[in-house]
Amino acid sequence: MASQNPIAPSPAAGLYGGSVFANVVQAPEDPILGVTVAYNKDPSPVKVNLGVGAYRTEEGKPLVLNVVRRAEQLLVNDPSRVKEYLPITGLADFNKLSAKLIFGADSPAIQENRVATVQCLSGTGSLRVGGEFLARHYHERTIYIPQPTWGNHPKVFTLAGLSVKTYRYYDPTTRGLNFEGLLADLSAAPPGAIVLLHACAHNPTGVDPTLDQWEQIRLLMRSKGLLPFFDSAYQGFASGNLDADAQSVRMFVADGGECLTAQSYAKNMGLYGERVGALSIVCKSADVATRVESQLKLVIRPMYSNPPIHGASIVATILKDRELYHEWTIELKAMADRIINMRQQLFDALRARGTPGDWSHIIKQIGMFTFTGLNTEQVTFMTKEYHIYMTSDGRISMAGLSSKTVPHLTDAIHAAVTRMK
């Protein structure tokens, strides 16, 4: 009979109650994604999820664009398609077409080969790669982000190796832009500092500068040598017009200066789960752009080696085909128009109800989100009493609203502001 030699337990195991990870504490839920976790646990038939930024139909269902289904069918039927690794920088066609989409096909930066574009893991991955590149190769390690901003921005840039500071952006008294505070804070920033700018449809406020204000921001930043880093998560999704939503970025590129832009196709093509995006760095010369790209590869290779092929292929198929591109713009405008219509319906309902306060900011703000002005106590009340789920700062996703749920939300807001002042 063969002798048995059982493996002795690790001496460390007993020290930690049977697990070397016994001292790991439970992390809190993500403040945004955690909203959906709580929503899913609620058995109420009247519950409404206005937390996560994902488009929903009038029936409250996720939407896969028809043009995306067509593009996928073309890819499936193409016998030449393989599943080989992409280069570190991603799909070449996707990169070229993405740069043209955000900067414009006639952009001198593109024509002069001054743009280094790499495919990344949606907007978050693009921001992280850009942040790590700057931490390694840019002389200033401080990035200024708007207050407030998307909750993931501080974490992304801190973990990338940058020091994060804020500049004033939102004015809670007017529920609009604190333009004077913005200019004052950027004026006080050290020369060369990096500045994160939301290209359009600011998240979470829905408040954007006017074109005249953008021009003043550009002049100030260029005069101080501040480096713009645009987060473009909603191109075409804000106004329904791809060119209009890229105007802020194009103003900075047109002056010949350098900048970074992170793009995402999660919202405007509904490719949330495909994680497809791009980082573009506009440089002073083609030679600099080539060297920048070489260093971006060194950031990406140990991070995720190379990006996935499917989502980028969908985007490239749509962007390079005139018919598919046209169909996309129609579907994109329909999504943007539905959100604008939801804004109007909610505003009209609150006004008809006689809810205290000026709610005109709902129709003045733009994009997926409305910054309601509701405080944490009011949000908690609405969740507990009306099963309305939203982030604690009062941000609601207009894309999660429908004509059927507007009356329920109106009742909840009315009760919150009259009973929880």
Structure tokens at 53: 């930024």
Contacts of residue 68, Cβ cutoff 8 Å, sequence gap at least 6: 269, 270, 271, 314, 318
> Cα separation of 342 and 363, whole Å?
9
- Euclidean distance between the first and the last CA atom of the chain, given in angstroms as a whole number: 80
Q: Which residues pair with residue 195 across a beta bridge?
A: 144, 228
On the 0-12 / 13-18 / 19+ scale of CB atoms within 10 A, 278 is: buried
Cα angle 339, 340, 342; round to 5: 65
- Rounded-to-integer distance, Cα 389 and Cα 37, Å: 10
**Which residue in the list 185, 245, 267, 359 is annotated as catalytic?**
267
What's the DSSP call for residue 7? P
Q: Where are the beta strands (DSSP E) in 102-187?
A: 115-120, 142-147, 163-168, 170-171, 176-177
Active-site choice (47, 150, 328, 359): 150
8-state DSSP, 314: H
Residue keyed to tokens 């049977």: 18
**Is 61 designated active site?**
no
Residue 267 appears among annotated catalytic residues: yes
Amino acid, single-letter form, for residue 221: M
DSSP string computed for 322-381: HHHHHHHHHHHHHHHHHHHHHHHHHHHHHHHHT-SS--THHHHS-SSEEE----HHHHHH
Distance (Å, rounded) from C-alpha 415 to C-alpha 353?
Answer: 11
Which one of the listed residues 208, 231, 245, 328 is annotated catalytic? 231
33, containing H or E segment: helix 33-41
Instruction: Calculate the CA dihedral of residues 249, 253, 259, 261 and round it to 10 degrees.
Output: 40
Two structure tokens written together for 381 = 């009340």
Q: Which residues are 232's β-sheet partners?
A: 263
Instruction: Tell me, yes or no, if 231 is annotated catalytic.
Output: yes
Task: Give catalytic residues, as residue numbers.
Answer: 150, 231, 267
